[in-house]
Amino acid sequence: MTSTVRTPDFLASARDSLPGFGLYIHWPFCAAKCPYCDFNSHVVSAIDFDRWGRAFEAEISRVGKDTGDRVLNTVFFGGGTPSLMPAELVARILSNVRQTWRAANDLEVTLEANPTSVEARRFKGFVDAGVNRFSIGVQALDDPSLKRLGRLHSVSEALSSIEVARSLVDRVSFDLIYARQDQTRSAWARELKEALALEPTHLSLYQLSIEDGTAFGARHAVGKLRGLPDAELSADMYETTQELCENAGLRAYEVSNHAQPEQESRHNLIYWRGGDYLGIGPGAHGRLSNGRTRRATVAERAPTRWLNGVEAGGATHEVLQLIDRDEQAAEYVMMALRLNEGLSIHRYAAISGNTLCEKTINLLVEDGLLWSEPDRIGTTARGRLVLNAIIRELI
């Protein structure tokens, strides 16, 4: 097979290890619905936290009966806005988790947080409850953009929240959105340099996407969302992102995620490496393997129906399907090629029972879209710009 020269992979020591086993807990409530957000999040006037705590405990007990002998590597509180949860509820859930599974010695417990001053005051309680990693939704470093994105915090609050989180735990990530309305390449470069000046160990940097079912999606459909960058400008901003982060020592270990060595999100790596994970909470997804079979699960999306279903003792998850070998292999390609470390050709063959087309791989390598080395292929910087096309060619 044709090879290309590539720089040493800072994940090389970990990339061939077992993907791990994770738990995702979905908190579906937010203080406000952001106009770009298509996540399963809801704004309500009142929440019975004790009732929700009992429901989470019941679901943990239910799924733990099938998986309790496994070592749990990660827990991720996502949403919605988990930082709106009382710290006592987070502690209650984590206590139940530790009673249900054998926790890894280095169990990673991430909580997504909004950087309002009210929520930042809860960070100490979350850490006391067992959280050891924060993912903070900063989204922009100028106040007019934050207002346009529907965010409830200011830049000063965001910077203060990052400082508070860093004073409590070693592992803090924050998010930014680029390719926003009327944003230029130079303006994004200045904003990203401001972020990098904070010396983060992990950044999640996403291009603004317009999704159906969102307020932005509705505006865009009738031509009222003006100033969005075209494909060429978006690609230029992506290249700027890679260059500045690389120079700052935060390599893109995944298409949208940048980290210093050993600071990657271990929970998200489970997804991208094709590992097993449980999803608990409204709309949460899971992937579970048993021998050669693998199944996908999804929970009821509506919070009230989910809660009532748990309390009634009924199943809140439906098996979407038993994922056959071809589908497992395709999913592995789609997820693993998002990673800088790429995918294992031998693992693909073990999953699918077939081999990837060597001729196709060689052509993509010759075109500068893939790199290859013994047992591995992955996308080049140029290839990541056309990732979906590469995936189609391979599968």
Q: What is the pLDDT of residues 249-279, one digit of tens each?
A: 999 999 999 999 999 999 999 999 999 999 9
Per-residue confidence (pLDDT) for residue 52, from 0 to 100: 97
- Can you tell me whether residue 277 is helix, strand or coil? strand
Per-residue pLDDT for 14 more than 90?
Answer: no
**Separation between Cα atoms, residue 203 and residue 58, nearest integer Å:** 34
Phi, psi of 297 (to 5 degrees): -125, 150
Per-residue confidence (pLDDT) for residue 19, from 0 to 100: 86
Per-residue pLDDT for 106 more than 60?
Answer: yes
**Separation between Cα atoms, residue 197 and residue 202, nearest integer Å:** 13
Cα dist. 235→56, 240, 335 in Å? 42, 9, 21
**Separation between Cα atoms, residue 331 and residue 395, nearest integer Å:** 10
Per-residue confidence (pLDDT) for residue 2, from 0 to 100: 38
Q: What is the DSSP letter of 281?
A: S
Rounded to the nearest 10 degrees, the angle between the axes of helix 303-311 and helix 49-67 is 60
Residue-averaged pLDDT of the chain:
91
CATH superfamily to which 21-271 belongs: Aldolase class I (3.20.20.70)
Render 31-93 in DSSP notation, one character per residue.
SS--TT--SS-B--S---HHHHHHHHHHHHHHHHHHHTTSEEEEEEEEES-GGGS-HHHHHHH
pLDDT tens digit string along 175-231? 999 999 999 999 999 999 999 999 999 999 999 999 999 999 999 999 999 999 999
Note every long-range contact of 382-387, with CB atoms under 8 Å and residues 24 or more positions apart, other chains counting: 384/252, 384/255, 385/235, 385/238, 387/255, 387/337, 387/338
pLDDT tens digit string along 283-340? 999 999 877 788 999 999 999 999 999 999 876 777 777 888 889 999 999 999 999 9
Where does 325-395 sit in CATH, by number? 1.10.10.920
Per-residue confidence (pLDDT) for residue 4, from 0 to 100: 40
Average pLDDT over residues 68-72: 89
- For residue 292, the surrounding DSSP H or E stretch is none
List the domain boundaries for the chain: 21-271, 325-395
Average pLDDT over residues 232-256: 96
Average pLDDT over residues 26-54: 93
Cα 119 to the center of its chain, rounded Å: 21
Q: Burial of 105 by CB count in 10 Å (0-12 exposed, 13-18 middle, 19+ buried)?
A: exposed
Per-residue pLDDT for 246 more than 70?
Answer: yes
Give yes or no for a contact between 85 and 77, defined as CB atoms under 8 angstroms apart.
Answer: yes
How many residues can be counted in the chain?
395
Per-residue confidence (pLDDT) for residue 321, from 0 to 100: 76
pTM of the model: 0.92
Give the pLDDT band of residue 12 (cuts 50, 70, 90).
very low
Give the pLDDT band of residue 1 (cuts 50, 70, 90).
very low
Per-residue confidence (pLDDT) for residue 168, from 0 to 100: 97
Per-residue confidence (pLDDT) for residue 18, from 0 to 100: 66
